[in-house]
Amino acid sequence: MVKPVYIYADEGTSDVGVASLQLAIATNLGLPTKTITAQHIIDNELEHCQMLIMPGGADLPYCAKLKGKGNQHIRQFVQHGGFYLGICAGAYYATKTIEFTGDGYQIFENRELALFNGKAVGSLPDLTNQYYYDGTAVSKTFATLTFQNNTQLSFYYHGGPMFLSEAEDAETVVACYSANRPAIVCGSYGKGKFLLSGVHFELQPEIYEQYIIRDTLHSSEYILEQSIYNQIKQMDSNYIWKKIRELLDEISTKCQGTKTCE
């Protein structure tokens, strides 16, 4: 029986992100998905999945609900051969330290989960015409990333971090923003793996239309949101999904060889 992918859907998570992930996982990985809450993690149910996804949104509610036992169970899950995918807020959440600056506020704190031994720094106003993150369309953009093979692709960006590692060569940089700033990183934690992304490669145009475009139809943000929607329709995330498949295969191969990842 194929273990499903668990998608965290609790206080702080983005509805458009969760719904997009449900569709994207089925399309790109061919795996079943299940949405879970903090209580599922606290009740130690991660052993029934092969991947945990912490999506975009706001990570302070993640901290409030998962501190202590929840984070302990996530770390154990990855250590024993699980895969953690963190996108935007879910990426901030998995780093040792965050330095987040939004429009009129800052969050400079340590994080308990700390799968990534380093710092997540954002938002990045040079990508958004000097607008710091807020809930409006002016702090959204499409950021061009450069991958390891020098391929350049553009992805939806809304407040995500760059990643600064404290341990040289401990993680792999998958893609960079301009000025060689790491935008997507992956690494090992025990027998498991993680991938953290500052951009939203998961978004699906039909979901964005349903959740965002229809809600802004009669607002001043409609033109900006329509432009973003049109770019999402052109977004090519195949390279990132391929990387995720490779990491899952590495875990599977390691576990088959040692028989210790059950």
Residue 212 pLDDT > 60:
yes
Query: What is d(CA 159, CA 228) in angstroms, rounded to the nearest whole number?
Result: 15
- pLDDT at res. 87: 99
- pLDDT at res. 188: 96
The mean per-residue pLDDT over the stretch 149-164 comes to 97
- pLDDT at res. 186: 97
- pLDDT at res. 217: 73
CB 82 within 8 A of CB 52: yes
Q: Which residue has the higher pLDDT, 150 or 217?
A: 150
Q: Give one DSSP letter per residue of 109-135, joined into a string.
A: EE-SS--EEEEEEE--GGGTTTPPB-S
Q: How many domains is the chain partitioned into structurally?
A: 1
Q: Look up residue 91 and give its two tokens.
A: 């990426």
> Can the peptide bond before residue 197 be classed as cis, meaning omega within 30 degrees of 0?
no
Sheet-wide strand order for 95-102:
105-110, 95-102, 116-122, 162-165
Q: Look up residue 120 and give its two tokens.
A: 């997540």
Please, which pLDDT band fits residue 1 given cuts at 50, 70 and 90? confident
The domain of 62 spans: 5-258
CB 85 within 8 A of CB 195: yes
Cα end-to-end span (Å), the chain:
13
Query: What is d(CA 142, CA 156) in angstroms, rounded to the nearest whole number?
Result: 5
Please provide the average confidence, as pLDDT, over all residues in the chain. 94
Span of 89-93, 136-140, 194-198 with lowest mean pLDDT: 136-140
The mean per-residue pLDDT over the stretch 70-96 comes to 98
This model's pTM is above 0.75: yes
Q: What is the pLDDT of residues 8-30, one digit of tens each?
A: 999 999 999 999 999 999 999 99
CATH label of the domain that carries residue 51: 3.40.50.880
Query: What is d(CA 160, CA 223) in angstroms, rounded to the nearest whole number?
Result: 23
Q: What is the pLDDT of residues 220-245, one digit of tens each?
A: 889 999 999 999 999 999 999 999 99
Residue 214 pLDDT > 90:
no
Q: Look up residue 245 and give its two tokens.
A: 């498949």
Amino acid occupying residue 172: T
**Percentage of the chain lying above the pLDDT 70 cut:** 96
Q: Look up residue 248 and give its two tokens.
A: 């899952």
Q: Look up residue 191 and give its two tokens.
A: 């027998």
